[in-house]
Chain A
Amino acid sequence: MPMSDPMLPQVVRVLRRRRELPEVWTLEIEPASDAAADAPNFEPGQFNMLTAFGVGEVPISYSGDPQRSQRWVHTIRAVGAVSTALTRLRAGDVLGVRGPFGSAWPLAAAEGRDVLVVAGGLGLAPLRPAIYRLLAQRRRYGRVTLLYGTRSPDDILFRRELERWRRRLDVDVQVTVDHAVGDWHGHVGVVPALIARADFDPARTSALVCGPEVMMRFTLAALRTAGVAETAIHLSMERNMKCAVGLCGHCQFGPTLVCRDGAVYRSDLLAPYLPIREL
């Protein structure tokens, strides 16, 4: 009985490509052939390894709706050779996929509680599947708040969707930018500053945080100040990753392997290590 090889990518096709921002693209791809077709086949917070054949492989979080199992959605910023090659794929092109890998946002554990989603920059992408599920199962949760910060109004990811969510009466959506330009009339400043103004009950709030590491450190401090328990805060870490299955050693963060123990962590498990520089 041949054992499956976790390093072997499956070949799938691009279904659709959409430009989000000047260097950010969303790819909709076929799910891996061994994934369930008619049931959720990944958990919000998980990621895939995507291969541009002949170029390389990178970890990319799911950014789509977990209820839509017929397509896997990934939002990619073109920064290096592999991510650039991936963002140049068109509908019908092939790519390699391994996954899903990694831990998930604790959405079941958050039922009955207020949920505070804090995202910075492209960190909104790994949180979007969680937002879809929160909204799809809105009655199971208390107050739902989304705080999103980005550099400038031109860098706002998923802008139309944010506007749509903002029109709902059962979600509080706040967007802030570091640098206001033109006709921006919204918040200006860093996203942790929005936490003090948000309406949630710290004693029964679950916080989901994803963004640049410095943003997450300050968010963590603001959440602590607000009185949210360390064990109710989850954050998604990012490290260089080559294998995604705990065998290559690249994604170590302190005693953990991000691919195996994360990328979504309960913050009390990371708290001793987050302040250590260059860990």
Chain B
Amino acid sequence: MNPPADADVSPAVLTVDGFQCLIDELQRRGYRVIGPTVADGAIVYDDLASVDALPRGVGDAQDAGRYRLTRRDDEALFGYAVGPHSWKRFLNPPRLKLWSSRREGDGVRVEPAPEPRQPLAFIGVRGCELRAIAIQDRVFLGGRYVDRPYDVRRRGAFIVAVSCGTAGGTCFCTSMGSGPRAQGDFDLALTEIVDAGEHHFVVEVGSDAGREIMAQLPSRDATSADCRQAERIVAATAASMGRSLPAEGVRELLLDNLDHPRWDQVAERCLSCANCTMVCPTCFCSSVEDSSDLASEETARERRWDSCFTTDFAYLHGGSVRATTRARYRQWMTHKLATWIDQFGSSGCVGCGRCITWCPVGIDITEEVRAIAAAPARTGGSDHADGHAQD
């Protein structure tokens, strides 16, 4: 996505009918349009045929270990926070064939898996999710080796972001600087306004592709009053967030406290179920599985999401390097908040709160950081941590 070439892209106002035109236009251009919809009592991301598939008038109640859909007293299309799905399931699918092989004579021929033909369009990408995509971009595209399956899906993706008009019960994006305003790499960014019989979207254009699409839609220029109203909505969301993580020093805090007693304490609650890693929009770990037919004529390698909470994850010579839940929880949290910075140049956390909501026992990552910060002890990793901080 390139920023729009000329600066003359003032915000526009799109009606709900205009929103249907947006979906139509994306489909006409060959995109597979994906967005939020209700399934199994949750907001999930799935193919969208029309604006009617969006969760109109649906809200949610979230807390540690708790998620319920609610009925709003308005007809908002985006009046809820993020659910269990994130966009990684489309950019890096949970199961993906990498290649297959076929025996030919006394040799073997390896065939790469077919690539998707249809570009993706994401509707309703929140600020925290834009940040999550940017973080996965650095993991999959920013290193010496580029992940081809991610690259082909990501490159053509069209992103319609939505700034949040409601803070979820476990959100802490304000403290992570990732939301609630949609900022970063989007094609269009919407703020939904549902107020006194009014229902429309203030649209910010973020790319040439976004501007081209907008030109096809029935819209009017946004007035300064429209823009101020959008700003007020986002500011109110930011102010209503109940949780936070410290902006600075978490990396050093955790690496200096690798043997802190809190790890034993959290391990007594953690079920090592891997839910947090599945719902996290940045967790990217994967494993591979090879299969073959009975005659070994044809074989295939499939990649699937994996989690550092499984004992197989760090299996080496007959046992797991991280045999205890204590070690596995510590690996997850220190990777997310500390060593991710060493590996990929930023924190791996965006403040979306999914790991808190979907933890069956309600472990709260912000509370775990606070507990260690309340009684820190220098127990390890500190030399390296200090050395790195001075780099």
Contact = CB atoms under 8 A, between A and B. Distances in A.
Interface centre among B99, B145, B384, by most chain A C-beta atoms within 10 angstroms, is: B145
Given A9-B110, A96-B110, A255 B327 contact: no
A94 to B, nearest CB: 5
Given A7-B148, A53-B108, A252-B331, A276 B259 contact: yes
B87 interface: no
A79 B380 contact: no
Interface footprint category on B: 35 or more
A11 B343 contact: no
A5 B146 CA distance: 8
A247 B381 contact: no
A275 B383 contact: no
Contacts, number: 152
Contact of A94 (B107, B146, B292, B339): B107
Interface string A238-252: 111011011111101
Interface in A238-279: 238-240, 242-243, 245-250, 252, 254-257, 260, 269, 271-273, 275-279
B380 A278 contact: no
B327 A279 contact: yes
B139 interface: yes
Given A54-B290, A254-B381, A269-B384, A8 B99 contact: yes
A255 B342 contact: yes
Given A3-B146, A248-B285, A250-B314, A240 B380 contact: no
Interface in B124-159: 139-140, 143-148, 151
Contact of B107 (A7, A11, A57): A11
A56 interface: yes
Nearest to A93: B106
B316 A240 contact: yes
A272 B380 CA distance: 6
B98 A7 contact: yes
A57 B101 CA distance: 14
A53 B383 contact: no
B339 A252 contact: yes
A247 B147 CA distance: 7
Contact of A54 (B98, B146, B292): B292
A248 B287 contact: yes
A276 B256 CA distance: 11
Q: Say whether chain A's binding surface is mostly helix, strand, loop, or mixed.
A: loop
A272 B259 contact: no
A97 to B, nearest CB: 11
Contacts of B197: none
Interface stretch (B1-9, B50-58, B203-211, B318-326): B318-326
A239 B308 CA distance: 13
B286 interface: yes
A257 B106 contact: no
A245 B148 CA distance: 12
Contacts of A3: 146, 148, 151
A238 B108 contact: no
A54 B296 CA distance: 6
16 contacts: A6-B146, A55-B292, A56-B289, A239-B314, A240-B313, A243-B286, A246-B145, A247-B140, A249-B286, A249-B335, A255-B339, A256-B343, A269-B384, A271-B384, A272-B380, A278-B321
10 shortest A-B CB distances, which residue pairs? A54-B292, A249-B285, A255-B342, A278-B327, A245-B145, A54-B299, A255-B339, A272-B384, A5-B148, A6-B145
Given A243-B286, A256-B342, A279-B327, 5 more contacts: A7-B148, A250-B306, A271-B384, A272-B255, A272-B383
